[in-house]
Amino acid sequence: MTKPFTKPFASHGDMSEKKTLLTPLSRHAYAYEVESDPTSGVIVGDDGVAVVDARATPVEAQTLIAKVKAVTDKPIKYVILTHYHAVRVLGASAYGAEHIVCSEATLEMIRERGEADFQSEVGRFPRLFRAVDSVPGLTFPTMTFSQRMTLWLGELEVRIEHIGRGHTRGDSIVYLPQDNVLFSGDLVENRVSVYAGDGHIAEWLQTLEKVRAYKPAILVPGRGPALKGEIEVNAAIDATSSFLSALYFSVRLAVSQGATLKQTYDATRQVMDPRFGHWPVYEHCIPFVVSRAFDEVHGIDQPVVWTAERDRDIWAQLQGQA
């Protein structure tokens, strides 16, 4: 029998409307910021626009599209997916883009777990998926790459690179060398809880250092406002790394002592709650990220597919009444 929940499931307690901003960052780059919801990017080149991460549904994407039209009449030519999670990609059909671009590893994830992830995230994020009927189906790319690809918007160079596993096995960064602006996707968060349910946590720590090596003047994180200047950028990378380190090493210590998943969860929260418990989306993320870290420490390299049923089962095990 499923245990009753002591806390609202996932993001079911977060139903308030969020303020949206299209923040100019450089001559070509904008951040579409929605408080602690996923952040998207907008790149305006000489002959067209690229959108970085598409939003959860076509209806939700319309607000972003309207803000783009307010700053340029150039067509949206590309939708670039930094990784595969339904909340970021299922709005892609709204843009009428010539191409949808992602890494080959991300395409593998769509084929492997796309439908399960769709149902999982619809269940987790009722506010973001209120217009779920507008989703025509899974989002598939029209262009993929193994390690890197360069797009040109007239004279503007847009580099897309898969620099290592982290938040997922297919993460890509988008970099504008002319402006020294980097879009990290969910590899870096700006003091919003880090989701590692599909992560490769130990490798993620290494991938973060590859992000840092770009020395971007501006970094657009997966969630939270854009980061400007070396101090802000490095602080966000450090904070993301600290979250992942505390998670991984707390779980590893508990597992070394023979702890069960529930015992590991309780021990990990004792370490992490005082440091990160005030971050937005923390209560949503923590059962799923501890579960994934527990699996990784036990040698399970590929994250187990999240389904709507598995989501509820893990939540009941870890957040339910004893």
How much is the average pLDDT of 106-115? 98
Bridge partner list, 29 = 43
* Token pair recorded at residue 29: 């780059």
Residue 13 lies in a domain: no
Residue 302 lies in a domain: yes
Residue 241 lies in a domain: yes
The pLDDT tens digits for 289-313 are 999 999 999 999 999 999 999 999 9
Determine the Cα–Cα distance for residues 309 and 312; give it in Å rounded to an integer. 5
Residue 15 lies in a domain: no
pLDDT confidence band for 320 (50 / 70 / 90)? confident
The pLDDT tens digits for 264-286 are 999 999 999 999 999 999 999 99
Residue 187 lies in a domain: yes
Let me know how long the chain is. Answer: 322
Structural domain count, the chain:
1
- Nearest CA among 5, 32, 3 for reference residue 19: 32
Model confidence at 1: pLDDT above 80: no
For residue 295, give the CATH number of its domain.
3.60.15.10
Single pTM value for the model: 0.96
105 or 17: whose pLDDT is higher?
105
pLDDT at 4: 47
What percent of the chain is modeled with pLDDT above 70? 98
Residue 121 lies in a domain: yes
Residue 21: φ, ψ to 5°: -135, 135
* Token pair recorded at residue 193: 């809880």
Residue 99 lies in a domain: yes
Residues of the domain holding 282: 21-319
Residue 218 lies in a domain: yes
Which helix or strand (DSSP H or E) is residue 23 part of? strand 21-24
DSSP track, 124-191: H-TTTTTTGGG--S----SEEESSEEEEEETTEEEEEE----SSSTT--EEEETTTTEEEEETTS-SS
pLDDT at 3: 46
